[in-house]
Amino acid sequence: MNTHPSNELALGPVSKRKPSTAINLSLFLPGLGQVYCGALGRGLLHLCALTALLVVALVFLATQSAPPTTILITVAILSIIPTAYSTWDARRMALASREDYRLKDYNRVSVYVALAFLTLPLLTGLAFSVRENFLHIFAMSGSSMSPTFDEGDRIFVRKDSYLDRQPAHNDLVAFLNPANRQQTWVKRVIALPGDILEIKAGVVHLNGAAINEVNGVHLDKTDLPPITIPDHHCYVLGDNRAHSKDSRQIGPVPMIALVGKVVSWR
């Protein structure tokens, strides 16, 4: 009796590994190309190494207070280089595979899809962690900070900027509106705890002297009697004073309401 068909079925069907398929899988998710070529452990190692590398890099950059441009460039490089290597390695493995390569139990489309979906929560969790604890991007609305920011400008906010220190005068800060914590506002810090602030016909006086406003600030004719900024609070104003709701309406902002410092925008 010829038992060859049953033996082949037990060992798995023959299917030569295609370099183009290995490349495409690796570009979609580093490590999948290696799994396709029969190296499950090697593929998982590539995948875990890339994820760990991104996590370590982001944590390091956070502790060094790197600017957003540096962060984005670093993450891009750390994603491209391992992906390129993983793609090259998967192509090499496919080219070196035997013509009579027999499919493993995990050489299935469903397994590749499952690995991709299992990885998504890790990457999503990483992105969420960065957003919640480190760097957040906001889109500006309204004209209260014009011309510094225009409607629709994207701004980068470092959420760890004030963990161990208070803001400085003229810092651009994002904060939760104390009257409606669903709203995040962006304004300029004008006064800090202990400062005596007064506004005369739109001109801000701090501790008895008129301040030098930054270029582009549009003054109005507001008058405000002298007030002393309480502890753990700061006084904020918009750069377009006639069209801004700020500390003149809501009072000094608690430091605890600060989301972070605006470090870049476009």
Tokens of 194: 């202990």
Marked catalytic residue, from 26, 86, 97, 144: 144
* DSSP sequence for 107-174: -SHHHHHHHHHHHHHHHHHHHHHHHHHTEEEEE--SSTTTTTS-TT-EEEEETTTTSSS---TT-EEE
Phi, psi dihedrals of residue 101, rounded to the nearest 5°: -60, 130
Tokens of 19: 């370099």
Q: Please name the residues in contact with 72: beta carbons below 8 A apart, sequence gap of 6 or more.
A: none
Marked catalytic residue, from 26, 86, 187, 261: 187
Paired with 59 in beta bridges are: none
Whether 221 is catalytic is no
* DSSP sequence for 159-223: TTTTSSS---TT-EEEEEETTEEEEEEEEEEEE-TT-EEEEETTEEEETTEE--PPTT-B-----
Tokens of 70: 């540096």
The catalytic residue positions are 144, 187
